Structure 1
């Protein structure tokens, strides 16, 4: 049986984290229970583990780590349908900002080194410490609300033999030691605050303050980037901002502006105010 951890939220509500010793994938487990078992999740209910055997990231990339070296957290998020139309593209971005909030809250000494790479990575010194995967689950109450799951994986400690990718980093490499449970609690609390405010403002990322905070901490803005688009075409240019809908704004070498809502982003040259990019 999983351990149940209650996380107090603003407004006297509580979110429950199910802590499992091991699962295949926290996102997949939540999806199975939502779709196959018609489980009614409370807002911000979460499934977390320190040992995920079949984790995955964007584009179905494998995300595996030896037990005890990482934490995986999947959180259930709902939006009223009218807010979802404006905010659904901001869910993963809100998770990145929330995870940065959580990390800085637990380890304020690394605040200046923690940034966000659009759309789904959190970095320390320009290297990936966390990946984020948001997935739509479906509708509830006859379409009155949209439901999705937001999964994050965070490297806590460097495995024996090192991390599998040279652009990856673990918290222990920068002298940060946090328990996986405390990080899960801090993340769920921060995500709930960000999403609740976004929902309260009917999905308006400007009114909620989300876009300003993302822009402030986004390492991608100002960097020269190569974006591999869904049709395998490449867009190369300077990332110049984040749109009101959460898209990445890129100015190509001919001076033409593009809005990117999906794609694999590589930092060809980092922004002047960032550390070494990917």
Structure 2
């Protein structure tokens, strides 16, 4: 299967409309869209910048894991935000991106097949199609946030980055990158504005999250917690975006970690 055509900034802008608040730029290849926007933030770039790459040569996931794919079969996007809410609340940013990505894929025809896995994965038919990485950036204009995500678009089974992944193509959905991104950026702008104004979005997130109500295993970062794993029942998302897990009758809050959905 040939690579799907790259995203087009003019078409995304047209689909979003004139009042979206986003400034979209598309490139064929870069090292990391997050790193590029972090540098732009330090140079004074205002909120609303969007960088889209058809290929990343040095993409990263959480805990500095590398993320790579063949050229043209995925799309990587980062947005620059300058939230007014205190940094303690910024754990919500990846969750907001997840909500928006899930909405965009549903708009392509994914429907109820699309769910969220706390904290940073979007699933279709229970298989990962998108990963998310949000980072705080210190600038002379105050702290900024760069939120990035990568979506498997036209990957074949042989090209998947990890077992248990999928792509839009494999899921039988359209692979139009411009349409996909417009369908994500629209909801993301609205969600980010609501969140920054103080709205409580926990019910919105829980409604589409396959983790809530499931038996889970939380693997904690080995550098922070010695690689500890915790089993329990995921019951809710907390006010700062943390996962609340009932562990043998005791409620524990996890701000980060890899989650496995247990049967």
Alpha-carbon separation, structure 2, partners of 1:148 and 1:101: 21
Quick check: 2:68–2:161 contact (8 Å CA) kept in 1?
A: no
Give the aligned partner of residue 221 of structure 1: 212
Number of the residue aligned with 1:197: 194
Q: Is the counterpart of residue 118 in structure 1 residue 118 in structure 2? A: yes
Aligned-residue CA RMSD in angstroms? Answer: 2.1
CA contact (8 A) 2:154 2:175 kept: no
Q: Where does residue 255 of structure 1 map in the other structure? A: 249
Whether the 8 Å contact between 1:10 and 1:193 is mirrored in structure 2 is: no
Aligned to 1:31: 38
Contact 1:7–1:14 at 8 Å: present in 2 too? no
Deviations 1:60-114 (A, max 9, x none): 112111112100000001112xx2346312111000001111111232xx21110
Counterpart in 2 of 1:264? 258
Do residues 19 (structure 1) and 26 (structure 2) align? yes
Q: Is the 8 A contact 1:7 1:189 kept in 2?
A: no
Unmatched runs of 5 consecutive residues or more in structure 2: 1-6
Q: Are residues 86 and 226 of structure 1, via their aligned partners in 2, closer, same or farther at CA, if it must alter by over 3 Å?
A: same
- Which blocks of at least 5 consecutive residues in structure 1 are unaligned? 270-278
Q: Which residue in 2 is equivalent to 1:154? A: 151
Q: Distance in 1 between matches of 2:101 and 2:9?
A: 21
Any idea what the Cα deviations from partners look like across 1:214-241, whole Å, max 9, x if unmatched? 1001011122111112311111111111
What does residue 4 of structure 2 align with? Answer: none
Are the aligned partners of 1:240 and 1:250 in contact in 2 as well (CA < 8 Å)?
yes
Give the structure with the higher percent strand: 1
Residue 32 of structure 1, CA deviation: 2.4
1:186 Cα offset (Å): 2.2
CA shift in 2, pair 1:54/1:4, >3 Å: same
SS in 1 for 2:174: coil
Aligned to 1:47: 51
CA–CA separation in structure 2 for the residues paired with 1:229 and 1:127: 21
Q: How many residues align?
A: 251
